Structure 1
C-alpha cells in the first residue's frame, strides 16, 4: 500500500508543501557561496539561501521536459545540489524523534535515503512546473540551538502567490547546512514526524523503511 502523505492544515496546501521541498533544496545547494572555515556568518547564510534558490529554480526550469518524463532526473538534480549540503543526520534525528535512538546506524542511513526519495518522487510532477519563482530574504533570527540561525524569506511568482518560508540552519564543519524548513509556521520535519511515529508503533522501524522503499520503487 502506498505510504500516506500526512494530513496538513488547510493553509498548508500542496503548493505550499511543494515550496517547502524547494526550500530544502535551495537552502542546501552549494557552489555559489563558500562559508568561512571557522565560523559561518549570518550574512553568508542570507546570501546562500538567496543565491542558491535562484540557481535551483533555474536548474529545474531548464530541465522541465526531462523531469516531466522521468522523476529520476529531479532526483539527480537533488543528489548533485542538495545532499552534500543538508545536515541529513540532524534531519533524520528530528523526524524519527524518540525512535532515533532505537534505530541502528544502518536503519538511520536507510531511512534518510528513502525519506529524501519520498519527498522528491511525491512532488516531482508539480516541481517540474517551477521556474518563474523568486526569493526575497526578509530577515534572520537566532535558531533554537547554540549557533543556529533561522533565515526568513518570501517565495513569490507563478501560481503560488507569496509564500513565507523560514530555513532552520546550523553550522557544520565551517559551513551552513539546512535541516528543516517552516512554511506558514508549519515545520516540514514536524509534519512528517507524527505520521512516521504511528507507522513505527505498528510495524517498527524496519516496517517504516520497507514501506517507504516500496513506495519509492512503485
Structure 2
C-alpha cells in the first residue's frame, strides 16, 4: 500500500519541477542563531544564496544524475538531512502516536521517513527548469523560538506558488521541520495519512510500509 500525499503535493509533482527544490530548501535552510535572533535581511540572504548553490550543484551534476539516479539522491541526501530537525518533525508527523512509539520505533520511523522525503523530492529535481525563488519576508512562528520564512516560487506550470518554511533553533542554529506550499503543510499532510495507516496496522506496520516503498524506489 502506498502512503498517500495531500492532493496538492500529489498533483504537482509532475507539473512543478520546483517542488523538489522546495523540499530541498526545506532542509537546507540553516540560520546561525544569535542572542537577538536572525533578522529578515539575514534570512533573505541565506535562503537566496542557499537556493543558488543548490541549483548550481544539481545543474553541474546533470550528466552524473542522468547516468545514475543515485547521484541525485546523494545530492539531496547531503543537503537535506543535516539541516532537518528530525526529532521535531517525527514528533509532529506521528502526532498522538509519538508517545505510544518506543525509542526503537521512533528511530526506525525517522530513518525511513527521511528516506521517503529524499526520494519524494529527488524526482522533480532531475527536471529542474527555470524556477525562481523570491523571499518575500519573515514572520514569527507558532512558538516564541520559531521563525516562518516566506517565499514565492515562479516559473513553473502552476504560476506563482507561495511557500513558507517553518524553522526552529537546534544546538545553536536554525533547522527546518516543515514546509507549507500554497497553504498546505507537509507535516499535517503526512500526519493524516500516517494516522490512518497506524490505525489499521500499528506503528510497526507503518514503518514496514515505508521501508518497502523505499526499497521499491531503489529498483
Smaller-chain TM-score bracket: 0.7 to 0.9
Q: What's 1:121 paired with?
A: 119
Query: Aligned partners of 1:51 and 1:153: how far apart in 2?
Result: 14
Q: What's 2:136 paired with?
A: 138
Q: Report the Cα offset of residue 141 of structure 1.
A: 0.9
Matched, 1:29 2:28: yes
Q: What stretches of structure 2 of length at least 5 have no aligned partner? A: none
TM-score of the two chains, using structure 1 as the length reference: 0.86
Aligned to 1:82, what secondary structure does the other structure show? helix
Query: Aligned partners of 1:16 and 1:181: how far apart in 2?
Result: 18
**In the alignment, is the contact (CA less than 8 A) between 1:20 and 1:188 conserved in 2?**
no
**In the alignment, is the contact (CA less than 8 A) between 1:25 and 1:81 conserved in 2?**
yes
Aligned to 2:136, what secondary structure does the other structure show? strand
**In the alignment, is the contact (CA less than 8 A) between 2:24 and 2:121 conserved in 1?**
no
Query: Aligned partners of 2:178 and 2:17: how far apart in 1?
Result: 14
TM-score of the two chains, using structure 2 as the length reference: 0.86
Q: What stretches of structure 1 of length at least 5 have no aligned partner? A: none
Deviations 1:23-76 (A, max 9, x none): 23224326xx76145454134333222211121122222223433443322221
Label 1:25 to 1:111 Cα distance change in 2 as closer, same or farther (>3 A): same
How many residues align? The count is 215
Label 1:107 to 1:71 Cα distance change in 2 as closer, same or farther (>3 A): farther
Aligned to 2:22, what secondary structure does the other structure show? helix
Query: Aligned partners of 1:28 and 1:124: how far apart in 2?
Result: 13
Q: What's 2:43 paired with?
A: 45
2:109 to 108, 111, 133: 111
What CA RMSD, in Å, does the superposition of the two structures yield over aligned residues?
2.5
